[in-house]
Structure 1
Amino acid sequence: MKISATSTVLVLGAGGRLGRQAAQAFAARGWRVLALSRRPLQAWPALLADRIVTVQGDALAGAALLSQQPELAQIDVIVHALNPHYARWATELPPLTEAVLALARATGATVMLPGNVYNFGRHLPSVLREDTPFVPDTPKAEQRIALEAALAAAAPTVRSIVIRAGDFLAPAGEGTETWLALGLGRRLKAGVFSPMGPPDILHAWAWLPDLAEVFARVAERRAALPAFSVWHYEGLSLSAEQWQQGLEAHLGQDLRTRPFAWWPLKVLALGSPLIRALVAMRYLWERPHRLEGRRLAELLGADLPRTPLQRVLAQAL
């Protein structure tokens, strides 16, 4: 374990999937963790509880949080794990971004943001590198591009790090909103596997404990990084065929294949902004893509975490 007794991280959105994992990853490496949430949080693991302080507050308060919570003035890193409502990004992302930047300016803390693949547009190429051009041809792409542009424009006054990753995979009990739970594996109990698109299409995934560990390890190297930097974490690049093989090996049984039914969602989308926003991202299951993570692997070396699929499944199901 790496001890960073003088370092403090503020995790915004500590009640969310990535936020909770990030708080635990930083604490396990010796950081003092301030876990901010608007609502009370469930108990932390006993071995980490003495390093994690739960703070109730609203991140939208920005720098005003310092008068409400004076302990926030001593933070070194801000993990921006806030997850606005999926159908309200257009209205909720800009004020959240400004609030986080205001807090970073007031404290001098480095902002760390989880990026995603939306920035590359509807026709994203099969290999995504840090210098792959952004294409703002969907609302979600426009919104995420604007978020990262705001961080870049704030440098060097605000230092920030974007770590881009694929769709989240979470441990059992924390993964009810992942595509493994809602899509591919939603009928596993009936012995059915539900591919979301063509069987041979690669799709980018990130096991959240690994991604959280990447955040902590990159944070420890932040002083040597540019004022604004972007890193790609490859995680697991898997096709539906590979998912099915992995699930069959884990379960010890063959699975029948029944493609995921998109048409009911299209009907429900007529009356639901949330489902309409989810259906709009169907292209990600029809375009092969993986994140090229060579630069991050060079930065972290042997410290780059990447849990094999069978170990992921053992903890996720």
Structure 2
Amino acid sequence: MATHVVLGTGSIGAPLARELASRGHRVVSINRSGSRAGLPPEAEQRVGDVRDPEFLTAALKDADVAYQLTQPPYHRWREEFPPLQEAILDAAARTGTRLVLADNLYCFGRPDGPISDRSPEVPASTKGSLRKEMAAEALAAHRSGQVEVALTRPSHYLGSDYALTRELLVEPAFEGRRMAVIGRMDRLHAFAYVPDVARAMADIGTSDDAWGRAWVLPALTPMTQAELCTRVWRTAGRTGQPKVLSLRGLPMRVASLFSSRVRESLEMLYEFEAPYLVDAHEFEQRFGWTATPLADAIRETVRGVRPDPVIASTR
């Protein structure tokens, strides 16, 4: 039985632990809080700080594969993210552990068409530049033979394990309140369904030939955020049209005065101001599956937040 260590138990960490456990692997989940929220009962847990080299080396001692899903607060990325990744790369190298790193699409900047593995990496933000630098560092470590590395690049998350989906979309829909989205309502956007991201990371981590590169992951059928809100609203049993706050322009700048997270999101707003599409054909050809059907993803997302025996159709 292979041992898989999941660093972080947040939006993807907990679903990934469930996915790996469902495949019969030994799963060890690591976080600092000690929370077991979302973890499968068979997962082992270790509480500690992955920035502590002694703790991390001990945690990876018997691991076959580790999955890096931890990250600093958005406003401390530049100062804290590179040394965090370096510490994890070093520990994986010392223990001979394969490492799957959770990346994103920031490095591609303002896309001219669907984002694919062959799209040029032209960052349009400081965070995109940082992600590009960190990916290059990780892949250089792979090429030098220090550690086997693969990176996953999903689009923006959608799913019941993701806090923004719950707090901005699903819970307001159940309560009949105003929903909220970032950016324009009328531009097509391809979201990554959280269970699909977990499945993809598990596929890569259990493969023998997916290492030494980054993978753009499958995304849901593109839809506008207006359509997304309407689908969630109706799936939650509501009638009529939802009221939605679009966070952009002045409202977002005002919100940024009170939230460092919103303030740091300003430079990423371009991702929601134009069509944002994904072409994951390389992953799909290698692993033989595509994203979950959109209607199924929305139905399960709503059920995952508040299970209800009567779920309206989203078709």
TM-score bracket for this pair, using the shorter chain length: 0.7 to 0.9
| 1:306 aligns to 2:297 (yes or no) | no
Whether contact under 8 Å (1:183, 1:260) holds in the other structure is no
Matching residue of 1:231: 215
The farther-off stretch of 257-266 and 232-241 is 257-266
State how far apart, in whole Å, the 1-side matches of 2:101 and 2:291 are.
Answer: 18
Whether contact under 8 Å (2:196, 2:218) holds in the other structure is no
**Structure 1 198/278 Cα, relative in aligned 2: closer, same or farther at 3 Å?**
closer
Q: Which amino acid is 2:156 matched to?
A: D
Matching residue of 1:49: 41
Q: Which amino acid is 1:81 matched to?
A: L
* Residue aligned with 1:36, SS: strand
* Residue aligned with 1:238, SS: coil
Identity among equivalent pairs (%): 25
**TM-score, length-scaled by structure 1:** 0.84
* Residue aligned with 1:228, SS: coil
Q: How far off is 1:219 after superposition?
A: 1.7
Unpaired segments ≥5 residues, structure 1: none
State how far apart, in whole Å, the 1-side matches of 2:129 and 2:189 are.
Answer: 21
**TM-score, length-scaled by structure 2:** 0.85
Residue deviations 1:186-210 (CA, integer Å, cap 9, x gap) = 7433354545433331223222222
| 1:85 aligns to 2:73 (yes or no) | yes
Q: Which amino acid is 2:274 matched to?
A: R
Q: How far off is 1:91 after superposition?
A: 0.5
Q: Which amino acid is 2:28 matched to?
A: L
After superposition, where does 1:179-258 map in structure 2 within 5 Å? 180-183=165-168, 187-188=172-173, 189-190=175-176, 192-221=178-207, 223-225=208-210, 227-236=211-220, 237-250=222-235, 251-258=237-244
Q: Which amino acid is 2:231 matched to?
A: G
Matching residue of 1:284: 271
**Structure 1 246/290 Cα, relative in aligned 2: closer, same or farther at 3 Å?**
same
State how far apart, in whole Å, the 1-side matches of 2:243 and 2:258 are.
Answer: 30
Q: How far off is 1:98 after superposition?
A: 0.4
State how far apart, in whole Å, the 2-side matches of 1:274 and 1:168 are.
Answer: 16
Unpaired segments ≥5 residues, structure 2: 307-315
Matching residue of 2:313: none
**Equivalences, count:** 297
Task: State the superposition RMSD in angstroms.
Answer: 2.4
Residue deviations 1:274-306 (CA, integer Å, cap 9, x gap) = 32102222111102112211111111214x552
* Residue aligned with 1:9, SS: strand
2:14 corresponds to which of 13, 17, 20: 20
State how far apart, in whole Å, the 2-side matches of 1:43 and 1:249 are.
Answer: 28
The farther-off stretch of 90-99 and 274-283 is 274-283
